[in-house]
Amino acid sequence: MVRPLDTQKTATTRLGRAVLASVVLGKSTRPIPEQHSTNNSLRDVILGGQDGLVNMLGIALGVVAAGGSTHVLVVTGIAAAITESISMGAVAYTSFGSDRDFYLAEKEREQKEISTRPEEEREEIREIYAAKGFKGHLLDDVVSTITSNRETWVSTMMNEELHLQPVEQQSLLRSALIVTVATLIGHLIPLIPFMVATRTPAVIAAIALSAVTLFAVGVYSAKTLIGDWRRSGLQMVAIGLGAAALGFLIGRLLHTTGG
């Protein structure tokens, strides 16, 4: 029997309300999840977009600094944008897929430990929830409820002990697609000015357009997640243009050496 004092204290937290609903009130043992966005679309956009933009801006500045043809830059730039976008999408799928494989490997390990050392694993559940403030009869009921269902037991260990979340196949495909499209768009942003202008005017326009885009992404990231939008925007611009400047310096060096 749960004591009123324990119930009152625990019910003030989200976890407490979920446990109270399943243990004390006899409702479903699977609490209704809160609606939070679990996708990492912003991460994928930044990963692909910034990579494509910085890469192409650096190449463009390097080609111009080395005295290369604007026409050749546009043609090769479009080809590079397509091939690298596909490559980045494939890399994203492989990289995030490794997270899924790691999760599945750890889940299998937890399942084996629950089968071979159930008492130790049950004690770990007790320690986890005791650290959260559960005690007495309520703690006993929580441990008993979780360990009575093998799937719930494993999921709790994965989440609470290892802090790992499952990666769905659909999420992998979505991330790969977003990275691919973002990389392609990122490549085209600094390349567009070279399609309508030549050399110095195109370089100025490409830098300005890239800076505005990077700043906007930094602002959106801060507004969506956390942080000061001005600092985030300027940081994104500094990192992006700084990396592109290396391409310009290398092109300049090659042009001077070749001359």
Is the residue at 103 inside a domain? no
Angle at 114 between CA 113 and CA 116, to 5 degrees: 60
How many structural domains comprise the chain? 1
Q: Does residue 94 contact residue 175 with C-beta atoms inside 8 Å? A: no
Is the residue at 248 inside a domain? yes
The whole-number pLDDT of residue 188 equals 92
| Backbone phi and psi for residue 211, each to the nearest 5 degrees, phi listed first | -65, -45
Is the residue at 75 inside a domain? yes
Measured distance between the N- and C-terminal CA atoms of the chain, rounded to whole angstroms:
88
pLDDT above 90 coverage of the chain, percent: 15
Is the residue at 231 inside a domain? yes
Band (pLDDT 50/70/90 cuts) for residue 27 is very low
Is the residue at 17 inside a domain? no
Angle at 19 between CA 108 and CA 17, to 5 degrees: 130
Is the residue at 131 inside a domain? no
pLDDT digits (tens, 9 = 90+) for 58-77: 888 877 777 778 888 888 88
Domain extent for 186:
41-98+169-253
Is the residue at 30 inside a domain? no
pTM over 0.85: no
Compute the distance between CA of residue 106 and CA of residue 220 in angstroms, rounded to an integer.
Answer: 35
pLDDT digits (tens, 9 = 90+) for 144-164: 999 999 888 888 888 888 888
Is the residue at 15 inside a domain? no
